[in-house]
Amino acid sequence: MKLILASQNKNKIAEIRAKLPQFTISGLDPTQFPNELLETGSTLEENALQKARQVFAITGCSCFADDTGLEVEALDGEPGVLSARYAGERRNSNDNMNLVLERLKNQPNRKARFKTVIALILNGKEYVFEGVCGGEITEQKSGDEGFGYDPIFLPEGRKETFAEMSMKEKGEISHRGRAVNKLVLFLGNYS
């Protein structure tokens, strides 16, 4: 089965392809989608659905989109839906991480969670899947793997950040991995 992932993020595409080897997953064709997809929702679910609907409207192909947010308890759930642009529109991961670390300085409560929502449009019908991974924000960045907030996120029960794990290790416990597992289970039962 062929599915379009509503993204041009090579890291995200590789991470999802690794979880769905039995499917042909392609990212967005830059000639069809020269600009970023709109994300104007107030929740991760709204954004994921909005992106999937845009791709389906242009391609007519089965597709899925995700939106992910880091929710930090001491920051009242921020950065949340604004995770990619937390430190400004430049969408710079280092600036975003630095702002979270700055706002948590001297804060004993470092509990956080990553949440991913996947919106699937399959043969014109919409489905939503959610994955959550609890953990905490470290005091400093650690690791070179992954992307986004991975160097400052320590998942529950682990001694290494997402950025210190291989893609396979991270995929087994991550929020996106959990949401993709639900998607895979659904697709396996769909046919």
- Classify 187 as helix, strand or coil: helix
Strand partners, 24: 2
Residue type, 155: P
* Continuous H helices in the chain: 10-19, 44-59, 93-103, 167-173, 175-190
Active site residue 150: no
CA distances to 25, 26, 28, 54 from 58, in Å: 17, 15, 11, 6
Answer yes or no: are the C-beta atoms of 68 and 133 closer than 8 Å.
no
How far is Cα 56 from Cα 64, in angstroms, rounded to an integer? Answer: 9
Neighbours of 58 (CB within 10 A): 15
Pick the catalytic residue from 29, 66, 67, 95.
67
Neighbours of 1 (CB within 10 A): 12
Catalytic residues: 67
